[in-house]
Amino acid sequence: MDNSWIKVGIIFAEKPNAKVICPTCNKGVLQVTDTYIAGSNTYERCVFCEECSQKLCMRKTWSETT
């Protein structure tokens, strides 16, 4: 994985509303979708570019207090 996408993952792990230009094509503004996993405290966050179709998905866990 390209280091620029690792940085994207770090940004969107904490700030899902961030406005970030795609590091692959430098054209599209990256979009985010969260898919909650039923019966767990886990969700999958996917960051993608509608211009070049690059995609990064990561799983996150949240606690009941956050």
pLDDT in tens, 44-65: 999 999 999 999 999 988 776 5
How confident is the model at residue 1, as a pLDDT? 61
Per-residue H/E/C for 14-59 = HCCCCCCECCCCCCCECEEEEEECCCCCEEEEEEECCCCCCEEEEE
3-61 placed in CATH 2.20.25: yes
Domain boundaries, the chain: 3-61
Q: Each residue of 13-34: pLDDT tens digit?
A: 889 899 999 999 999 999 999 9
pTM (2 d.p.): 0.81
Q: How many CA atoms lie within 13 A of 10 on its CB side?
A: 5
DSSP H or E run through 60: strand 55-61
Question: Please, which pLDDT band fits residue 66 given cuts at 50, 70 and 90?
Answer: very low
Phi-psi region of 8 (alpha: psi -120 to 50; beta: other; left: phi over 0): alpha
